[in-house]
Every structure is written in C-alpha cells, then in structure tokens.
Structure 1
Amino acid sequence: MFRGRYEHSIDAKGRTSLPARYRDHLAALGERRIVLTSALDPCLVAYAMPEWTAFEEKLAKLPQFDRAVQKLKRIYVSGAVECEVDDSGRILVPPTLREHASLQKEVLWAGSGKYAELWDKALWKQHFDTTEDERRDISARLAELGL
C-alpha cells in the first residue's frame, strides 16, 4: 500500500527519489519497477506492476467504444511508462510526463492506497486547499458512497 506524503526534489534530468516506504512496499512484492502515467488531474500516478496489470485487465473488459473508456485509455495507458528504481532509490520521470504534471524543482508524493500520485509541490497545495462548500460537497458524496 502507498500511504503518506513525502516531499522530494526533482533534478534537471527528471530524477526523483521514490520514498523509502514506497520502495519497501515494492521490495515486499519483489519489484524494482513502477508504472508511471499521466492522471486526470495535473499530476502523475504510480502503480506497482501487479496493480497496473490488474488495472489494465479491468480496463480491457470494458466496452471499447464507450467514450469515457476511450478517453481513459488515451490518458492513462498511452502515457504509461515502466520506471526502474535505481540503486539510489530514484526513478527517471520522462519529459512528457514531467510536462503533463508541471513538475519543477520540488515535488510531493501522495499515497492513495493501491497507487501513489506525484505532484509539483505548489500545484498540490492549490489542489489540496478546499473551501468549506467543497468540503460539504465531498462529505455529502462520501455519505452517499457509504463512507
């Protein structure tokens, strides 16, 4: 599981550290790779390989001519890149993905359970800040979902 928030830097070549706890999670799975892809928000999404494979299998079972499915495949699957975790615990984020997420110097990893998100730190702050009305709307929706 990917949990917690971790701040790191990203260098000019696009290398950033994968948080140690995330590396521990991968090691428990016998993995040294993550799949990194563009998200619906201006961030990136990182999956352990087994979770990514399960996601792709579910996606393959959905109606191929459904417009939402097509759009999701174009955003998620076409942008997906396998990233090897190097001996220093870093991954290399490709330029197209850095551009999608507007990654600058400071980045933030945010755990989301089965996946993690990689944000530009300043953009995270903008998206994380919510108004009281937004919080009420979120609370109402979560109640509808039984949470």
Structure 2
Amino acid sequence: MITKGQERCLYVFPMAEFRRIAEQLHETPMTHKAARAYSRVFFASAHDEVPDKQGRVTVPIHLRGYAGLDRELVVIGASSRVEIWDAAAWASYLEDSEDDFADIEEGVLPGGL
C-alpha cells in the first residue's frame, strides 16, 4: 500500500503492516479530532499497488504531486515501511536533521543503544 507520509514523502507498507495500522486507527475514538484528520488523509490517499512482472509499481499522479516526485527519487527503509522521497527534498531533510540526530536518540531510544 502506498499513501501520503509526513514531511511530503510517500509511505509504502506491506499489506499486513497497513492492516495493523488501520486496526490501531480504528480503535481510536471518533471523538479524537487529530485521529480523524490523520485517518482521512492516510486512507483517502492509500492505493493498493501490485508490482508488475519486473517488480515495478506505478505511483499514482496525485501522490507524485504530493511528494514532489519528478525524476530523481530516493527510496529508504524506515523500520516497517519504505519511504519514497524527491531526491532534493531528502537531501534537505538530512541537512536539517542530521545535526540533531545524536540528541534525538535519548528521547526515542530510552537507555541508548
């Protein structure tokens, strides 16, 4: 499944992971405004893409527009998903975030590595 991700990238999930996330969102109360907003964008943008015989997938035009995908792309592994970035956007994101990388570890990985 391909859908909109944060920071103007695309998320690509295996179906099992997409279903797990869908279940988590389903369990969130409808009264939670942020969950409703996230669910709307996440699901309305989702496309089930099947690779062709050469392993290629088509990225729908509205998702390409959202992520600014034109010619040069970067595909990264991000835990349980793959992210697709415009190459210039990825370079900019790394430049903005790499200096803070060491500081972020403590809050994300309690106890460190």
Give the TM-score of the pair, scaled to structure 1: 0.69
In the alignment, is residue 56 of structure 1 matched against residue 15 of structure 2? no
The residue number in structure 2 matching 1:11 is none
- 5 Å-filtered alignment, 1:115-126, equals 115-126=81-92
The structure-2 alpha-carbon separation of the partners of 1:107 and 1:64, relative to structure 1 and needing over 3 Å to count, comes to: same
Structure number with higher relative contact order (C-alpha < 8 Å, ≥ 6 residues apart): 1
Question: Which portions of structure 1, spanning 4 or more consecutive aligned residues, are displaced by more than 6 angstroms?
Answer: none
The residue number in structure 2 matching 1:98 is 64
What is the letter of the counterpart of residue 21 of structure 2?
F
The structure-2 alpha-carbon separation of the partners of 1:48 and 1:131, relative to structure 1 and needing over 3 Å to count, comes to: closer
Give the TM-score of the pair, scaled to structure 2: 0.88
The residue number in structure 2 matching 1:107 is 73
Gaps of 5+ in 1: 1-34
Aligned-pair identity in percent equals 27
Equivalent residues of 1:38, 1:97 under 8 A apart: yes
Gaps of 5+ in 2: none
- 5 Å-filtered alignment, 1:123-138, equals 123-129=89-95, 130=97, 132=99, 134-138=100-104
**Greater strand content:** 1
For the aligned residues, what is the CA RMSD?
1.6
Shift in Å at residue 140 of structure 1?
3.8
The Cα offsets for residues 101-126 of structure 1, whole Å up to 9 and x where unpaired, read as: 00010111110121110101111110
